[in-house]
Structure 1
């Protein structure tokens, strides 16, 4: 079993990476390679990361429970 500190840190890192990748990908698809892309990406990321982290605190435990149920032999 993973300790609470490691689990929270992992959720923070996952939220950080997912928020950065998702806002980056969709921002690039919308604006293309332009100076506006970087400005918008930064703003979008700053909004997305806290939301993603907060949601991961609720969704993470649910996902782990569902995965354990689905992989029981």
Structure 2
């Protein structure tokens, strides 16, 4: 018999997204700016402009996608547990 996990509080989920969204936006905009431009002069400014645009978008999208991702994770875990038992 397995104990059921308590879902995280809504405030915890929002706080996690406050941390996750800028990290992901920072890394992805850096990568996708460096790929076509290389590290040419002006690259850092372009990256920071793209990051400033991407972060709020990433936050809003993560708030919408987060519940779906948690649902999929729980569903997958349940199915995996059923197969294993």
TM-score bracket for this pair, using the shorter chain length: over 0.9
1:5 to 11, 26, 35: 11
Deviation at 1:57, TM superposition (A): 0.5
The answer to which structure, 1 or 2, has the higher relative contact order (CA under 8 A, 6+ apart) is 1
Instruction: Output the aligned Cα RMSD.
Output: 1.0
Larger mean Cα displacement after TM superposition, 21-30 or 31-40: 31-40
Deviating 4+ runs (over 3 angstroms)? none
1:66 to partner: Cα distance: 0.6
Alignment of 1:67 with 2:41, yes or no, is no
Question: What is the distance in 2 between the residues matched to 1:6 and 1:35?
Answer: 40
Which is higher, the Rg of structure 1 or of structure 2? Answer: 2
For structure 2, the 5+ residue unaligned runs are: 1-6
Aligned match for 2:45, one of 39, 44, 56: 39
**C-alpha displacement at 1:34, in angstroms?**
2.1
- Number of residues of Structure 1 aligned to a counterpart in Structure 2: 73
Structure 1 SS opposite 2:39: coil
**Structure 1: runs of 5+ lacking an equivalent:** none
Alignment correspondent of 1:25: 31
Distance in 1, matches of 2:43 and 2:16, equals 28
